[in-house]
Structure 1
Amino acid sequence: MPDYIILEQHGEALKVPVRRSQKAKRIGIRITYKSSVELVLPSGVKPEIGHKFLLSKEHWIRKKLQKAIISSQIPSNIIPILGKSYNMLCHQADDNSVKLQHECIEVYSRDNNYHDVLKNFLKGILLQKIIILAAPIITEYKLRYNKIRITSNVSKWGSCSSKGNLSFNWRLVFAPEEVLQYVVIHEICHLKEMNHSKNFWHLVSIIEPDYLLPKLWLRKNGHLLNYHLNAAISL
């Protein structure tokens, strides 16, 4: 069995070290946040089986490595909230709570579940901000919505249903405020135009003439918003 296997079907040549393990009960692929990968083989598994398994997982491996690279580029213990950066501090406590002040955000958790405690807090901040941003537009253009929801949808930043429900991806809390404002305007305009026709974009441009800038920012940087929470808490 060679010391490494080269993967090159779905990109540039990737050298994957092979390690035998007497403790391993099944074939495994180990990926670290230092952007490295290795194939772990139980002592009794034939080399060709491990080789075949690794080749079948190449697409998955490259996707995981890309995520690891992106995560490593985001500063740890720092989190952006609507365009402002805060230093993260986590404390064990009797109750779950979050304190946001000046340039620091402190997360308290009784069971070290800082991730969920902070996520719920950020959802609340985002909902409050969206309501504030939406109110004057709704009033000025005499529109009406049913309710606003904060979701964990990974494929959309926002949506507007036929019933007038406005939904927004909670990760928008990590975007600059002008980007969030664009998404809010975008979905509100769907209350009048349930499409992306010329009339729709004309209405968007009336409310926000410079909408192309935040739209471009989201297209270029949106994928980074998926990693800020984990990086901040150093998971």
Structure 2
Amino acid sequence: MLPDIHIRRSARAKRLTLRVYPDKIALSAPIQCTQKQIQAFIASSQIWLKQAWQKQQHLQTQLPSCIRLFNQPQAIAIVYQAQAKLFIFKDQQLYVDQAQPQAALKAFSFAYAKQHLPQFLHSISQEIGLNYQNCTIRQAKTRWGSCSSVQNIMLSSALVCCEARLVRYVCIHELCHTRYMHHGAQFWQLVEQFDPHYQLHRQQLKQQQPYVF
């Protein structure tokens, strides 16, 4: 059953527009639009409205109540609310636009990754004494990371939702490629030198997907 539709007339509205939110349905109408025209528009949109409303309700059951970040000691609570910005990260809470929750969560994870993953890679590089040229963050769907022949390292933004030890393994893995551009015995010996539990970490990463939301 659909909720009551909130109708708002606006001088800036040029046409009738329906928007479906997790907790309501809103309709914007030009000031000169008659009630009869509004009701006819709603009636003609019934099939789409039901599908969009059901989709929103299903999404709500799938949305996380918190997010764990690799460099945070505690989970970050997520608050879904109506707001102008896609996300606001403040006082260890993540405020998300409830109208676009998945887009907001994806945008946050990417922004957080761009800020924190390059710093983490740099610290690991300093720790193990393997240098690289540049670090880029991408929303990669098939790889956790990569290293080019000119020692440019790419890290997946999804790493921010992994445990710190797994992020460390990926950084070590890619940094070792600055020495060996292959997966031969010498490469794995070097990885093991800096991460004795790399085989376990490698297996655990295979059980996760290199993308977020």
TM score, norm. by length of structure 1: 0.55
1:76 and 2:64 are equivalent in the alignment: yes
Tell me which residue corresponds to 1:169: 156
CA apart distance, 1:108 = 4.5
Quote the Cα distance in structure 1 between the aligned partners of 2:173 and 2:187.
Answer: 9
Quote the Cα distance in structure 1 between the aligned partners of 2:182 and 2:79.
Answer: 44
| Higher relative contact order, structure no. (Cα contacts within 8 Å, ≥ 6 residues apart) | 1
Look up the SS of the partner of 1:222 in the other structure. Answer: coil
Amino acid in the other structure paired with 2:81: H
Tell me which residue corresponds to 2:208: 222
Amino acid in the other structure paired with 1:145: Y
- Matches for 1:98-177 after TM superposition, within 5 Å: 98-102=88-92, 104-108=93-97, 112-177=99-164
The total of aligned residue pairs comes to: 156
1:195 and 2:182 are equivalent in the alignment: yes
1:212 and 2:199 are equivalent in the alignment: yes
Quote the Cα distance in structure 1 between the aligned partners of 2:64 and 2:101.
Answer: 14
Quote the Cα distance in structure 2 between the aligned partners of 1:75 and 1:115.
Answer: 8
Instruction: Give the conservation status (yes or no) of the 8 Å contact 1:157–1:169.
Output: yes
Instruction: Give the conservation status (yes or no) of the 8 Å contact 1:130–1:184.
Output: no
Instruction: Give the conservation status (yes or no) of the 8 Å contact 1:79–1:85.
Output: yes
Amino acid in the other structure paired with 2:122: A
Q: Unmatched 5+ residue regions in structure 2?
A: 1-53
List per-residue Cα deviations over 1:91-143 (Å, max 9, x = no partner): 222344421434x321258xx33433332332232233323332244235543
Amino acid in the other structure paired with 1:107: V
Quote the Cα distance in structure 2 between the aligned partners of 1:117 and 1:99.
Answer: 11
Bigger shift: 151-160 or 75-84?
75-84
Quote the Cα distance in structure 2 between the aligned partners of 1:95 and 1:75.
Answer: 18
Among 77, 98, 101, the alignment partner of 1:87 is 77
Quote the Cα distance in structure 2 between the aligned partners of 1:181 and 1:124.
Answer: 19
Amino acid in the other structure paired with 1:106: Y
Instruction: Give the conservation status (yes or no) of the 8 Å contact 1:98–1:118.
Output: no
Quote the Cα distance in structure 1 between the aligned partners of 2:81 and 2:133.
Answer: 39
List per-residue Cα deviations over 1:23-45 (Å, max 9, x = no partner): xxxxxxxxx99xxxxxxxxxxxx
List per-residue Cα deviations over 1:168-215 (Å, max 9, x = no partner): 122122211111111111111101111111111111111111222221
Provide closer, same or farther for how the CA distance between residues 116 and 160 of structure 1 changes in structure 2, counting only shifts above 3 A: same
Q: Unmatched 5+ residue regions in structure 1?
A: 1-31, 34-70, 230-235
TM score, norm. by length of structure 2: 0.60
Q: Which runs of 4+ in 1 moved over 4 A?
A: none
Q: Percent identity?
A: 24
Instruction: Give the conservation status (yes or no) of the 8 Å contact 2:134–2:153.
Output: yes
